[in-house]
Amino acid sequence: MATNNALLATMRKSLECPVFYFPLDYRLGGNLPLPHLTGIKQAEQEFNAALAFNLHSGQTNEAFENLIAAITLPRVFKDEPVIISQLVRYADISMAFEATWAALQYDGWPDVQLASLQSEWNKIEIVPQALPAMAMERTTWPKVFELGRESFPLECMCEHSTNRFTEFWEIVGGGDWKEFLDRYPHYWHWIWTGSYDDERQIMKNLQDGINVVKTGYYKKLEDSSDFYKNFDESAFLVSLREWSAIEHFVQKTFRTMTQTQMAMTAIALKRYHQREGKYPASLLELIPAYLKIVPVDYMDGRTLRYRLKTDGTFLLYSVGENGTDEGGNPKVPASKTLNYLNGLDWVWPQAATREEIDAVEKAEAERWRKITSGYHRSAPAATGK
């Protein structure tokens, strides 16, 4: 880590720019190269790794600098109106969120530093960037459809082809008539009977997504499955596939907005606890000294849920993707990967006690003992002539 200190200092210095701007030729539409996104994400990872090292080494001032940088990066890289750019930004915000949780486990932060962290989180904007990104996505699709009607679209129209990149004459010349019949009539059918309806539908799907973001809280996009069931799905090849991507972006937008609210609230709770020696009975007690307004749960448009527990700790959570208050239940369904954002409710994690850690370690050791016990066999007796 010591060898990277100079580089980290340079990276932090660059964040003094009010906004990151990369010259992009948006006329390229879906072919727009975005090589800088890799560097943006790597920079966030570097700040997070440095923060972990600093905290472990007791270097609190350095840790604070790198945490501020981790929060600032997605704030200054914000105005690129491309959905994939915003998704990378959301990933950076999620990493900064986890870094903030780790930092708050340290009890020695002075209030002035905590207030500064809270201020940085408050500066992050989401909706003003999400809407232009979706609008830009909408402007690129007419050109995509125009090109698709003029030449065989390699990605969208070849789902039934065994080789998506084989040219027409190679197929016919090679005698692969089955692939020819499977591939080209499918494409011609789309051009003649469905491409214009397909284009209108994807524009509608995008507008539906924009309208949901404008409402200010998450609700699942109108399920288009019934719409597609009533029509020939082969005529809606693009919009059928892209509907889930639009829904995914909308959900990620509100999830990220909720994360920013949870981070600010958790910092405010930390500040209150350090000054009062206890946590508040209600989030209203944080206003106006620590928060200007009650924090919003953007997954249902209400306030974040909060409850003071009998042991003096607190429960802070969002209702999560399903929009249902499960009472702060963090259980992750078996169908999803283990992550607090996949829980029934999105619960701000509490650090495990020493007893809880010991119990988990003991159970894990016992599990491995049972797994490996079957491999312990006595060595076969040596034989000789």
DSSP 348-372: PP-PPPHHHHHHHHHHHHHHHHHHH
Taken in order 150, 154, 156, 158, the sign of the CA dihedral is positive
99 and 51 together in one domain: yes
| pLDDT over 50 at 160, yes or no | no
181 and 72 together in one domain: no
pLDDT band at 72, cuts 50/70/90?
A: very high
Q: Tell me if 45 is assigned to some domain.
A: yes
Q: Are 91 and 38 in contact (CB under 8 A)?
A: no
How many structural domains does the chain have?
Answer: 2
What pLDDT score was predicted for residue 156?
A: 42
By the 10 Å C-beta count (0-12 exposed, 13-18 middle, 19+ buried), 284 is classed as exposed
What pLDDT score was predicted for residue 241?
A: 79
Q: Are 337 and 319 in contact (CB under 8 A)?
A: no
> Quick count: other Cβ atoms within 10 Å of Cβ 97?
21
107 and 59 together in one domain: yes
| pLDDT over 70 at 89, yes or no | yes
Last residue of a domain, one of 207, 226, 249: 249
Q: Tell me if 203 is assigned to some domain.
A: yes
Mean pLDDT over the full length of the chain: 84
136 and 85 together in one domain: no
How far apart are alpha carbons 338 and 334 in whole angstroms? Answer: 9
Lowest pLDDT segment from 134-143, 151-160, 315-324 = 151-160
Q: Tell me if 10 is assigned to some domain.
A: yes
* Mean pLDDT, residues 59-67 taken together: 94
Q: Tell me if 359 is assigned to some domain.
A: no
Domain that holds residue 185: 131-249
Q: Are 101 and 269 in contact (CB under 8 A)?
A: no
229 and 150 together in one domain: yes
186 and 77 together in one domain: no
Q: Are 264 and 123 in contact (CB under 8 A)?
A: no
Lowest pLDDT segment from 82-96, 167-181, 191-205 = 167-181
Q: For 218-264, how does the pLDDT look when each residue is reduced to its tens digit (9 = 90+)?
A: 887 765 555 655 666 666 778 877 888 899 999 999 999 999 999 99
159 and 232 together in one domain: yes
Last residue of a domain, one of 90, 124, 158: 124
DSSP state of 305: E
pLDDT band at 30, cuts 50/70/90?
A: confident
156 and 114 together in one domain: no
Q: Are 348 and 305 in contact (CB under 8 A)?
A: no
Last residue of a domain, one of 124, 154, 176: 124
